[in-house]
Amino acid sequence: MGESFPLSVLVALVTVEAGEFGFELRTCRWAEREWPPHEPLARATTVLVARQLGTRRRRWDTIVLECDREALRQRANFGPERLDSDLLHVVRNAPAEWEYYRDALPHPGYPWRYVREAIHRAADRDVLETRKRSNRIEIRRKWAYPDWLERLIAIENKPDLDASAARALGTQLEYDVAMALADEVWVATRETGERVEPVLLEDLPIQAGVLALDPDALEASVEWYPRSLAVDDPGTRILERPGRSTDGRNASAARFEYVDPDEKAATRLEIAERAYERGWRSFVETMRPDCRHFELRARDGLQALPHCGANGTCQTASACSGSCPDFEPEPPIWRTHDWPIEGGPGKRLKRVLEERRERRRPGL
């Protein structure tokens, strides 16, 4: 289950760097290796992990997709890039035989010209066949879009959960439980070794599960089991919470709206498509691996974490940028020896992570 990395590319790491970003990456790798934590994974099911995805109102740290193994392989027919909502509308409803697109597709709820644009994009990506007959665009599917997503699990990573962070997290988890967009919601926190983990003493929704993760050993224990949420029922989107008066009582009513199950299902699939495209190793795409100080460090060959040689930390994307005072481009001579002429060590590191991401998407 471990990842093997070229010794010429990676440096051994003794302990995992502190910080929420490093903890988040360790959670992703643990989930990729060990999910689910409380029972064996069915043989026909596989796991896909991504990070920092969600909706406009709610973004999760880690997302675990439980996928039908064979259907996930069929999803590869549509390429490594995500299918957005417009493309999904086309490829999921495209007919098996040639048909005028307005007769074949259900009305999208917006002007048909946007559907035509999506049809052309799908044809450009070679996932849909098109032709013109009597000045009418006809379409035919190349493959049936598979039902590859089985369950969506959301994990919030809080390595050091103090009282104020717990209050903010409790509000977020209440939103998740009411909306029921994910099948389960979890909190992952750093294992303390105490008889009762401190996170269990915080005021969090009882529907949320709790994981105590040891990021160094890459092991986790379930401290509280989650409840399965009703993803097939209407959800409740909390728009505004009650304010409080000076005496501590609620001074205003909450505002909320119901969300149709079909809208929830469409949103879940759009999130899954983005997760399929990005995975969790895409962090390097928002960093500067072309800096001479950028490294990937692997602990026991299990995982490659970004590391800044200038400041000795596991840097975040905001810190690893061209505006960093320690940023130095790779010396040109680095690209003329053992490295391919089209790029230096930074390009090689990106390819290493991309190869690891490809392994989780069979059929590509």
The answer to whether 316 and 31 are in contact (CB under 8 A) is no
CA dihedral 315, 320, 325, 327 (to 10 degrees): 110
Q: Say what angle helices 261-278 and 85-93 make with each other, to 10 degrees.
A: 100
Task: Give the Cα separation of 205 and 169 in Å (integer).
Answer: 10
> What per-residue confidence (pLDDT) applies to 348?
84
> What per-residue confidence (pLDDT) applies to 164?
80
Q: Strand 10-12 relative to strand 294-298: parallel, antiparallel, unpaired?
A: parallel
Burial letters for 33-58: b for 16+ Cβ neighbours within 10 Å, e otherwise? eebbeeeeeeeeebbbbbbbbbeeee
Q: Delimit the domains of the chain by residue range.
A: 19-71+148-276, 97-141, 283-359
Q: Strand 184-190 relative to strand 149-157: parallel, antiparallel, unpaired?
A: parallel
Place of tokens 């999760």: 60
Main-chain phi, psi angles of 66, to 5 degrees? -90, 120
Least Cα distance to 359 among 39, 49, 41, 11 occurs for 49
Burial letters for 166-181: b for 16+ Cβ neighbours within 10 Å, e otherwise? beebbebbbbbbbbbb
The two tokens of residue 321 are: 């940028």
DSSP secondary structure letter of residue 108: -
Task: Determine the 3-state secondary structure of 142 from DSSP.
Answer: coil
Task: Give the Cα separation of 157 and 17 in Å (integer).
Answer: 15
DSSP secondary structure letter of residue 244: B
**Extended strands (E) in 124-216:** 128-133, 136-141, 149-157, 184-190, 209-214
DSSP character string of 19-47: SHHHHHHHHHHHHHHH-SSSSPPPTTEEE
Q: In which residue ranges of the chain is pLDDT below 70? A: 1-18, 243-253, 299-300, 335-343
Whether a cis peptide bond, with omega within 30° of 0, leads into 329 is no
> What per-residue confidence (pLDDT) applies to 16?
43
Task: Give the Cα separation of 259 and 238 in Å (integer).
Answer: 10
* pTM of the shown model: 0.88
The answer to whether 191 and 179 are in contact (CB under 8 A) is no
